[in-house]
Structure 1
Amino acid sequence: MSTTNKILMILTSQATMGDDPRPTGVWFEELSTPYYAFIDAGAQVEIASIAGGKIPIDPHSLESEGKNPPSVERFLKDASAMQKIESSIKISDLSIADYSAVFLPGGHGTMWDLPKSTELASLLSTAWAAGKVISAVCHGPAGLVNAKDVNGQPLVADRRVAAFTNSEEEAAGLTEQVPFLLETRIRELGANYESGPDFQTFAVRDGKLVTGQNPASSEEVARLVLEAVREAQ
């Protein structure tokens, strides 16, 4: 892949479970695994967020040094990568025209600020109309719920979409904490929702829309994103 390809990762800025003070944020592996899949394929990767600045990381997605997934360990030791999440770009300060693809990592924080962001909805709608690859994993598809296609219909309508399942949310014990159930909302928007076994790798690609079910799906989503970007060249 040419280094002229730039991929934009848009992360949550939400550090708590809504009004509940329990900490949340980005699920680290859903950031780090795709990040290095893109970097190692020769793409440039920039990191933005809803509010800009420091990205909140879900503490449940971090273990002590040496016990994390390899991509997380690599990210933590990568000064350039860490700087990107210390001072992320505010989405209102960028132009989607500069990028080949957009990727939305998950983490429960996304359930609060991504759906509420009119700037994100506009950016994704513009990106889709311009033929960019749009992708998300786990709770990241929460950022797609207000994006529209060129006909003004929900972007996910009549398209194959994967996202964190209701049963996975129940297993996580957070059904009552999240503002809505992501699987339910995606279905309500008319998507052809698909899923695999809970917490196992599952990702789908519908043209330039790529989505994955859970943290275990991050690597496969990244692979499908790269595939879609190559085909679009």
Structure 2
Amino acid sequence: MKKILIVLTNTTRYGTTTDPTGLWLGEATEFALILQQAGYQVDYVSPKGGFVPLDPRSMKHTDDEVMDFYESADFQQRGLTASLMPNQVNAADYAAIYYAGGHGVMWDFPDNQTLQHLAADIYENGGFVTSVCHGIAGLLNVKLADGAYLIAGRKITGFTKSEEILAGKRSVVPFFNQVETEKRGAKFSKHRAYSEYAVQDGQLITGQNPFSAKAVARLLVKSLSHK
């Protein structure tokens, strides 16, 4: 059985500000837990490898399940302390790649070409490309062998412009994910702000916000079981 690759951020603050950010914890743990329960091994990678910071606000939105996973030695070591570097990863080993969110990804996901090539290779090998919330930033510049954007003409979702405004981050984010995906020809879909919503378009599965990680995971498990 092939593995699942989870992509995490190394970004510790909002741009040049002193405001801390990083991985939104539940977006990684809730997804990983469901995949592991389904029998899949997960690996963790980040743009630079190594240390993965947590958005401190995400620690206020946890339950016992999230905290148990967070406190596990495996996640502490392989996820948060010694995540893989992209050049240590072989796309052929993975059935899917999943981009977890947190505002930090907006600075280190979009322009990482090694991650882009990994996602494209997994997709073109018949695997799934998935994301949740701000993680959609990792898909913005992924191009396939024919030079077309992966998301062009595809139905996707991610953290919306209105949710960004409600979060109070409009003035500090470098772009709006919704706007950038539409510039690349994606068919951006959305539901009520901060409610669970995930969409699937073939091998592409995306979730709207932090409350959608489990929905993405369930769609992925179902899709993998049918292959």
1:77 aligns with 2:71: yes
The answer to whether structure 1 residue 176 and structure 2 residue 192 are counterparts is no
Work out the CA distance in 2 between the residues paired with 1:177 and 1:97. 37
| In 2: Cα distance, 1:125 partner to 1:116 partner | 14
- Of 48, 51, 55, 2:52 maps to 55
SS in 1 for 2:178: helix
Gaps of 5+ in 1: none
C-alpha offsets along residues 19-75 of structure 1, whole Å, 9 cap, x if unaligned?
112110110000110010001111001111110011111011013xxx722332111
Task: Indicate if the aligned counterparts of 2:29 and 2:70 stay in contact, CA closer than 8 A.
Answer: no
AA at the equivalent of 2:69? F
Matching of residue 131 in structure 1 with residue 126 in structure 2: yes
Cα distance in 2 between the residues matched to 1:69 and 1:218: 14
Structure 1 residue identity aligned to 2:94:
Y
Distance 1:15 1:132 in 2: 30
Report how far residue 156 of structure 1 moved.
0.5
RMSD over aligned Cα atoms:
1.2
Q: Is 1:16 aligned to residue 10 of structure 2?
A: no
Number of the residue aligned with 1:145: 140
How far off its partner does 1:151 sit?
2.2
The one-letter code sitting in structure 2 at the alignment partner of 1:199 is Y
Q: Distance in 1 between matches of 2:45 and 2:63?
A: 23
How many Å separate the matches in 1 of 2:76 and 2:65? 13
Secondary structure in 1 aligned to 2:172?
coil
Alpha-carbon distance in structure 2 between the residues aligned to 1:77 and 1:11: 17
Distance 1:99 1:109 in 2: 24
CA shift, 1:152, in A, is 1.3
Aligned length: 226
Q: Which amino acid aligns with 1:59?
A: P
Structure 2 counterparts to residues 88-167 of structure 1, below 5 A: 88-167=83-162
Task: State whether residues 29 and 71 of structure 1, in contact with CA within 8 Å, keep that contact through their aligned partners in structure 2.
Answer: no
Partner amino acid for 1:78? S
If the length of structure 2 is used for normalisation, what is the TM-score? 0.96
Bigger shift: 221-230 or 178-187?
A: 221-230
d(CA) in 2 for partners of 1:88 and 1:205?
28
Shift of 1:219: 0.4
Q: Distance in 1 between matches of 2:88 and 2:2?
A: 19
The answer for unaligned runs of 5 or more in structure 2 is none
How far apart are the structure 1 equivalents of 2:186 and 2:36?
31
> Are 2:225 and 1:203 aligned?
no
2:62 aligns with 68
Worse-matched range after superposition: 35-44 or 81-90: 81-90
Calculate percent identity across the aligned residue pairs: 36
Match of 2:32 in 1: 35
Partner amino acid for 2:35?
F
Aligned to 2:209: 214
CA contact (8 A) 1:101 1:229 kept: no
